[in-house]
Chains A and B, each alone.
Chain A
Amino acid sequence: MELLAAEPRARSADAVAAEPFDAFYRANSDRVYRALALTLGNHDLAREAADEAMARAYARWQRVRGMENPAGWAYRVGLNWATSWWRKLRWERPPVTEERHPAAPAPDPAALAARTALDQLPLAQRAVVVCRVLLDLSVAETASVLDIAEGTVKSRLARALTTMRDTLTEEN
């Protein structure tokens, strides 16, 4: 199975600013979607959130393109949309637990084990892990995207990695 390669470090804001939306979409839509899928643990919701985030980026591209990290912005918009949407649902009708693991067979046992380990983390920790690894954001960028302090990024990341390590070790 082809692994998601770590994307090159974010290009300069100037380079992004000159980029048409189509290129941004092609380069980032899948990554943002998968980052949301891992964070939310719900593929359908992640798909909807990613589409929503990209639609907003498209509508506001003149502004978004000048941001330091448009992909991080899209991720945050999608995450906020999904979690708030979800919270709204949860507030009035609890989510169906089986929705969390929709039927999407993973042929790679290692991938499935990793996914299980990630799913056991609190959402806040998953978001940090996803930002740092999948979106390849720095600590400072992660803090900015998630609106948390850099120290919080570090502590959440450390706790998440420890838990993941323990879980994966147990499974092995």
Chain B
Amino acid sequence: MHDVPEDLAAAVRRAATTAPAPGGDLDALRRRWRSRRRRRTAVTAGSVACLVALTAVGVPLVTDRLNPADRSAATVRPATPAERLLFGPLNDLLLSGDGREIRVVDTPPTITEINLDGSVVEHPLPENLVVVTGLSDGRLVGLTQPPMRLTVLRPDGSIEHSRSLGPDGIRIDLLDVTAREAYLLRNRDTIVAHDLTTGRERTVTPADIFPVGRILVQPYEIVLPPDQPTYLTLAGGPGLLSTWERQIPDGTPPGTSVPADRSRCGIHVVGLADQRQRGNWSVQGCGTVRNVRFSPDGRLLAVIYDQTSSDVSDESLWRVTVFDVATGEVRASQQLGRIIPLQEPLMHTWRDAMAWADNHTLRVGVPQVSENPNRLYRYDELLKVSTLTVQ
């Protein structure tokens, strides 16, 4: 190790002593593996995806989101989609090694966009821009941290503005963005609308309308400490929010990985104004919900889910199903293909995305690889975009 001066090497070894003892042992490891093996065969209780419709403020907001072309010619595919199909940050390339082993190569972070005509656009991201969503006018909006700032990028990638959202340490999630406002979850307890131009904020709703649950980090569910109770994301337009909640036994200690539910996913739609449940249905054969997205008018809900009941190291079979939000009726459903092979260390790097081109046309993109990968792939080579038309 002649290229590392001994004093610096010693400093690195000293630094390693600052980490507390790992605390793991072989018995725990074997239990972890036995639990995983059981999970491969046991099909148990269902997962829950709770979808909350902010009906009171949602309708005008959703209407605001639509452009005139959407309203007047919903069956005509617009030149500019209502929502952009973005993947990212896709800073990965996939590399074939011994024929089946696939690995990941890091590259500078970018957002990959698939246009309606299938063309691919890469959007380089500034450093530390970690959460990004796109506007139909070509801008990207994201959070930069630390310090926590809301950053708007022009279509050419330059920064339109970057505004502080508060002191360091404050917890903020970006839920979604319209041309005028960004919807933020502040301190896990309040949803606010942040005016992109002025920075002024108005409270939309307290977040305690959401069921208190645990975070889902697919494909594992991590039980978090009580101060981080719920995983929350905006599923569709700014009027529609979703949470994922897993039913985990009370008293499960923080940090515990628990088996994924692999038989069905429960879907709940809740109105904000009265906090009453508007819909409640179950997706049979749903191993894990991967993504949900409401149509711009809020009438349809698309759910991407993994149909396999096996562990993540096995191949996955994904399907997208579109539900009528009011009735729970399945309006369209399509298999997205077999995602193979999901092997370590790649299995957690897959991205999927969907976007409504209009109120009836859904685009879904998932990465798929061939049976025998044998070369270096760009990520966008592997993205397969399907289009569902819902009548």
- Which A residues form the contact surface with B (CB < 8 A)? 1-6, 22, 25-26, 29-30, 33-35, 37-38, 43-44, 46-48, 50-51, 54-56, 58-59, 76-77, 79-81, 84-85, 87-94, 96-98, 104, 106, 108, 110-115, 117-118, 124, 129-130, 132-134, 136, 139, 147-148, 154, 157-158, 161, 164-165, 168
Tell me if B22 is interfacial: C-beta within 8 Å of chain A. Answer: yes
Checking A104, A108, A148 against B19 with a beta-carbon cut-off of 8 angstroms, the contacting residue is: A104
Q: Mark B210-226, 1 if CB is under 8 A from A, else 0.
A: 00000001100010000
- How far apart are A88's CB and chain B's nearest CB, in angstroms? 7
> Taking A77-B344, A97-B145, A147-B103 as contacts, is the C-beta distance between A87 and B13 under 8 angstroms?
no
Tell me if B208 is interfacial: C-beta within 8 Å of chain A. Answer: no
Cβ contacts under 8 Å, B21 to chain A: 30
Tell me if B118 is interfacial: C-beta within 8 Å of chain A. Answer: no
Please report which residues of chain B, range 242-261, place their CB below 8 angstroms from some CB of chain A when the two chains form the complex.
255, 257
CB-based nearest A residue for B172:
A94
Q: Mark B227-249, 1 if CB is under 8 A from A, else 0.
A: 01001110000000000000000
> Taking A87-B89, A130-B12, A161-B4 as contacts, is the C-beta distance between A111 and B28 under 8 angstroms?
no
Q: Report Cα–Cα, A124/B105, bound state, in Å.
A: 12
- How far apart are A99's CB and chain B's nearest CB, in angstroms? 10
Checking B12, B88, B218 against A38 with a beta-carbon cut-off of 8 angstroms, the contacting residue is: B12
Interface size on B, residues (CB 8 A): 61
CB-based nearest B residue for A60:
B344
**CB–CB B18/A111 < 8 A:** yes
Cβ contacts under 8 Å, B104 to chain A: 80, 84, 147
| Given A96-B171, A111-B14: 6 more A-B contacts, CB < 8 Å | A33-B19, A77-B344, A80-B346, A92-B231, A93-B173, A93-B231
**CB–CB B29/A55 < 8 A:** yes
Checking A58, A79, A94, A165 against B8 with a beta-carbon cut-off of 8 angstroms, the contacting residue is: A165
> Taking A96-B171, A118-B12 as contacts, is the C-beta distance between A33 and B22 under 8 angstroms?
yes
**CB–CB B22/A114 < 8 A:** no
- How far apart are B288's CB and chain A's nearest CB, in angstroms? 13
In this complex, the member of B106, B143, B146, B257 whose beta carbon has the largest number of chain A beta carbons within 10 angstroms is B106
Please report which residues of chain B, range 101-118, place their CB below 8 angstroms from some CB of chain A when the two chains form the complex.
103-106
**CB–CB A48/B257 < 8 A:** yes
Majority secondary structure of chain B interface residues (helix, strand, loop or mixed): mixed
**CB–CB B131/A91 < 8 A:** yes
**CB–CB B131/A30 < 8 A:** no
> Taking A43-B19, A51-B28, A54-B24 as contacts, is the C-beta distance between A97 and B12 under 8 angstroms?
no
- How far apart are B123's CB and chain A's nearest CB, in angstroms? 14
**CB–CB A104/B18 < 8 A:** yes
Checking B14, B89, B218 against A110 with a beta-carbon cut-off of 8 angstroms, the contacting residue is: B14
Q: Report Cα–Cα, A29/B231, bound state, in Å.
A: 31
- How far apart are A9's CB and chain B's nearest CB, in angstroms? 10
**CB–CB B16/A37 < 8 A:** yes
**CB–CB A168/B11 < 8 A:** yes
- How far apart are A131's CB and chain B's nearest CB, in angstroms? 11
**CB–CB A92/B4 < 8 A:** no
Checking B12, B103, B105, B233 against A134 with a beta-carbon cut-off of 8 angstroms, the contacting residue is: B12
- How far apart are A11's CB and chain B's nearest CB, in angstroms? 17
Cβ contacts under 8 Å, B89 to chain A: 87, 91
**CB–CB B18/A154 < 8 A:** no
Q: Which of B30-38, B316-324, B332-340 contacts A (4 or more CB under 8 A)?
A: B30-38
Cβ contacts under 8 Å, B233 to chain A: 92-93
> Taking A90-B130, A91-B89, A91-B131 as contacts, is the C-beta distance between A3 and B348 under 8 angstroms?
no
- How far apart are A112's CB and chain B's nearest CB, in angstroms? 6
Cβ contacts under 8 Å, B12 to chain A: 38, 114, 118, 129-130, 133-134
**CB–CB A89/B11 < 8 A:** no
Q: Report Cα–Cα, A165/B12, bound state, in Å.
A: 11
- How far apart are A24's CB and chain B's nearest CB, in angstroms? 10
Cβ contacts under 8 Å, A136 to chain B: 1
Please report which residues of chain B, range 341-365, place their CB below 8 angstroms from some CB of chain A when the two chains form the complex.
344-346, 348-349
Q: Report Cα–Cα, A94/B185, bound state, in Å.
A: 11
